[in-house]
Amino acid sequence: MAAPILLTESLNLFYGNFQALKNVNLSVAGRRITSIIGPSGCGKSTLLRVFNRMNDLVEGARVTGRVLLDGEDIYAPGTDLLSLRKKVGMVFQRPNPFPISVFENILFGLRVHQLAGKSKDRLREIVKESLESVLLWEDLKDRLNGLATNLSLEQQQRICIARLFVVRPEVLLMDEPCSALDPLATARIEELMQELKKNYTIVIVTHNMQQAARVSDDTGYMYLGELVEFGATQKIFTTPRDKRTEDYITGRAG
């Protein structure tokens, strides 16, 4: 396994008095797909939101332990949240493009990072690249000024992924990105993930075990805030070491 890009050491997270993550030690390798599975409320989404510090927005959330991105502790005092979130992009459960044009949606990240002042042609170039990387350019090149919210859910989710690329992230966090999509759309997004893996490190949270088995290289099973087991996906699904993991993947629990 390559050197980890993301690493947690004795990570604990509390919401007030409730401990949502318990001593999580996880290492995510670069340019692979790592999936986190587990029953609802096990803390998998919380863990995902540790990596771009979106949990900071929750009142009363508190973290102990270390989380290293490229060897740097992202919870160290003085961490620049803005550049962290540029490096670590997030795709949400429900496709959530802004109710503005496709073009403006893709460029939202640029606007925010004041890389504006680019020529119209350059901006179109950027939009083209982003949409090409999610295989939407051919479909949408004549509809860039249409509302993104008028597209199909699958296309909307692709736009949400494409929107991340303009700020050049390294890691893509995906929080059940297919749960609002039908099986065909899900299959196509999964294909896309295989494509994206060549350039990005992907961490996906899913409660769809088949999805985890299909798309991911490594899998972690979480239960009640603990990372019960972590390893190569094949191993987790064929020869789990922990009884709890076995119960879950064979459908006896969760």
Partner 1 sequence: MRTLSPRLTQRIAFSILFAATLFVILPVAFIIGVILKNGLGAVNWEFLTAMPRASMREGGILPAIVGTFCLVAGAVLFALPLGLCAAIYLSEYSKDSRLNRAVRLAIVNLAGVPSVVFGLFGLALFVGFFRFGASILAGSLTLGLMILPVIITSSREALDAVPGSFREVSLSLGATKLQTIKYAVLPHALPGILTGTILGVGRAAGETAPILFTVAAFYLPRLPRSIFDQAMALPYHLYVLSTQVPNVAPKIRYGTALVLLAIVLLMNFLAIAIRSHFRAKKKW
Bridge partner list, 68: 7, 73
CB of 129 vs partner 1, minimal distance in Å? 17
Bridge partner list, 67: 8
Bridge partner list, 18: 15
Give residue 238's identity as a one-letter amino acid code. Answer: T
Cβ nearer to partner 1, comparing 19 with 96: 96
CB of 90 vs partner 1, minimal distance in Å? 4
Q: Tell me which residues touch partner 1 (CB under 8 A).
A: 52, 54, 57, 59, 81-86, 89-90, 92, 94, 96, 98-100, 108-109, 111-113, 147, 149-150, 160, 163-164, 167
What DSSP character marks residue 147?
B
Residue 180, SS3 per DSSP: coil
Angle at alpha carbon of residue 54, lines to 48 and 56, rounded to 5°: 125
Question: What whole-number distance in Å separates Cα of residue 161 and Cα of residue 165?
Answer: 7
Cβ nearer to partner 1, comparing 112 with 232: 112
CB of 119 vs partner 1, minimal distance in Å? 21
Cβ nearer to partner 1, comparing 2 with 57: 57
CB of 57 vs partner 1, minimal distance in Å? 7
Cβ nearer to partner 1, comparing 113 with 124: 113
Calculate the CA 123 to chain-centre distance: 25
